[in-house]
Structure formats: structure tokens, C-alpha cells
Amino acid sequence: MTSTAITVRFIGTDGAVQEVQGMPGDRLLDLAQANGQPLEGTCEGQMACSTCHVIIAPDDFALLPKAREDEEDMLDLAMGATRTSRLACQICLDAAWSSLTVRIPGEARNMQGR
């Protein structure tokens, strides 16, 4: 039994769209970094920072599991957070999704020097 790939659309700060394929269970932060998106993920998914803050398209946001309180606390520190903001380190692609649209906030910073 093979899983079906999920199309993830990254919308950059300049409006450019990059579509990549991910598999169920893939962590959004890892997928973003592997495809050159400017998400730092300083704490490596430990929810000790907000450097992987992304904005999920409203229609897709409804598909995601609700953010835990500790994620909400980190999002309070994220620059430019919106109602559909999430931390990419806390989103794993779900086999029930065919696609996910993610916007990189204008305040995104990547201190890794890419």
C-alpha cells in the first residue's frame, strides 16, 4: 500500500509560488527547509522559538488539528501572526489532505545565512 503525495504550495514574501510534494507524516518545517524556504526553525521543533511561523490558507487551516497551548504561546511572540498562523514544526502532513497552501510571513527571518 503506497501513500499518495500531498502538494504543498509555499507562497514566498514576494508572492512567488513554489509547489513541492510531501508524504503523509512529513513535518512541514523539514519539507520547507529541504526546498529552500526561509524558515529557520532555531529550536529544531522543540517549540522554544517562533522562527518557523507560517500562515496557512484559511480553507486549509480548518483541516489542521487545533494548536496546543504551548504552540499558541510561541505564536504570541511571532512577528506578523494572524488568525491562521501556525508553527511549521508542529504540522505533519496528513494522508487525508490533497494539498496545503502556506504563506511565508513578510517578517520571516533566516539566520542560517542562505
Q: What is the pLDDT of residues 28-86, one digit of tens each?
A: 999 999 999 999 999 888 888 999 999 999 999 999 999 999 999 999 999 899 999 99
Rounded distance, CA 99 to CA 6, Å? 5
Rounded distance, CA 86 to CA 23, Å? 19
- Whether pLDDT at 19 is above 50: yes
Going by pLDDT thresholds of 50, 70 and 90, the confidence category of residue 2 is low
Cα 2 versus chain centre, distance? 24
Going by pLDDT thresholds of 50, 70 and 90, the confidence category of residue 107 is low
Mean pLDDT within 88-114: 81
The residue type at 64: L
Place of cell 518557523: 52
- The answer to whether the beta carbons of residues 99 and 59 sit under 8 Å apart is no
Other beta carbons within 10 Å of 66: 7
DSSP bridge pairs for 100? 8
Decide which of 41 and 109 is more confident: 41
CA distance to 22, 56, 57, 59, 76, per residue, from 81 (Å): 25, 11, 13, 17, 7
Decide which of 110 and 46 is more confident: 46
Whether the full predicted model's pTM is greater than 0.85, yes or no, is: yes
Q: What's the pLDDT at 106?
A: 85
